[in-house]
Amino acid sequence: MKKLVVLTGAGISAESGIRTFRDSDGLWHDYDIMEVASPEGWRRDPKLVLNFYNERRRGLYEAKPNAAHLTLAEADEEFDVHIITQNIDDLHERAGSTKVLHLHGELKKARSTADPSLIYDIEGTELNWGDKCELGSQLRPHIVWFGEAVPAMSEAAEIAHSADVFAVVGSSLVVYPAAALVQFVPSSTPVFVVDPKEVAVPSWREITFIRDKATRGVPKMLEAIRNLS
Ligand code: NAD
């Protein structure tokens, strides 16, 4: 079975009604990134940060996996599919994908501000000021903010390095270190990119572009992978 590694970004969830960051209707048009997604923002106004993620969580409960998530989950029968996602939503899991690595954390989880190894499922949609871990410290969203380390990166790099086929779906590839994952993919491994817009891929790499939305582009990509010699 071919090992198919798929790096997904906000674009794969766009057709489920979850806004991306950088498109014209993206979240950063309404919010200052450093106020709601950085350690400095958290120190300045934790309630604003908690409200921002509570709002995202409420939206996530209303969203459903779309045909792109579902098609990748079904592809498990044909390929050894490993999803590495920059998304904080759980739409890959809800679609049925079994190997999903979250690079930037998970919206439905909280973690202790005293001990990052203490991670909890959030019951319902709200995480509030005053919600504490078992050590008595405030809980924060289990999200990797701008300027923070990405603990899952070395595992992701190993997965990318062992790919027989590598794909990027719905990511502008401007957020590092996730965007650097392509560099770990062996030079003989075919790389596909599914995105309706231009993506910042390394110029030295041969890439098959499928310029389409994820729901149409993912089935097209799988067809092209089946036809690889
Ligand atoms: P990004 O906003 O930088 O880029 C989104 C990409 O998706 C763009 O290239 C855009 O052209 C493409 N796109 C838009 N609609 C699409 C569609 N229907 N099908 C396929 N592609 C489409 O997002 P990014 O590269 O993932 O990186 C930014 C950060 O965004 C990540 O850290 C991630 O945590 C965060 N984010 C996650 C979610 C989520 O969990 N769903 C939502 C917003 C932002």
202-212 tens-digit pLDDT:
777 889 999 99
**pLDDT mean across residues, the chain:** 94
Instruction: Express each pLDDT in 97-141 by its tens digit.
Output: 999 999 999 999 999 999 999 999 999 999 999 999 999 999 999
Amino acid residing at 201: V
**What's the CA-to-centroid distance between 21 and ligand 1, angstroms?**
6
Q: Tell me the average pLDDT across 72-94.
A: 97
pLDDT at 203: 75
Domains of the chain and any CATH numbers? 3-226 (3.40.50.1220)
3-state secondary structure (DSSP) of residue 199: coil
User: How many residues can be counted in the chain?
Assistant: 229
**CA–CA separation, 139 vs 108, rounded Å?**
13
**Confidence category of residue 152, pLDDT binned at 50, 70, 90:** very high
Catalytic residue of the set 69, 82, 104, 142: 104
Q: Which residue has the tokens 């690889």?
A: 228
**pLDDT over 90 at 223, yes or no:** yes
pLDDT at 18: 92
Which protein residue's CA is at the shortest distance from atom 40 of ligand 1? 87
pTM of the model: 0.94
**Contact criterion met (CB below 8 Å) for 107 and 90:** yes
**pLDDT over 80 at 22, yes or no:** no
161 is catalytic: no
Q: Tell me the average pLDDT across 1-25.
A: 90
86 Cβ inside 6 Å of ligand 1: yes
Q: Tell me the average pLDDT across 43-60.
A: 95
Which protein residue's CA is at the shortest distance from atom 2 of ligand 1? 21
Pocket test for ligand 1, best of 8, 12, 18, 20 (most atoms within 8 A of CB): 20
CA 73 to the chain's CA centroid: 15
10 Cβ inside 6 Å of ligand 1: yes
**CA–CA separation, 129 vs 51, rounded Å?**
10
**Contact criterion met (CB below 8 Å) for 150 and 177:** yes
φ, ψ at 101 (rounded to 5°) = -110, 120
**CA–CA separation, 186 vs 74, rounded Å?**
26
Q: In the chain, what percentage of residues exceed pLDDT 70?
A: 96
**Closest ligand 1 atom to 10 CA:** 26
Q: Tell me the average pLDDT across 179-194.
A: 94
H/E stretch holding 193: strand 191-194
199 Cβ inside 6 Å of ligand 1: yes
Between the CA of residue 27 and those of 21, 31, 35, 140, what are the distances in Å? Answer: 5, 6, 13, 20
pLDDT at 229: 65
106 Cβ inside 6 Å of ligand 1: no
210 Cβ inside 6 Å of ligand 1: no
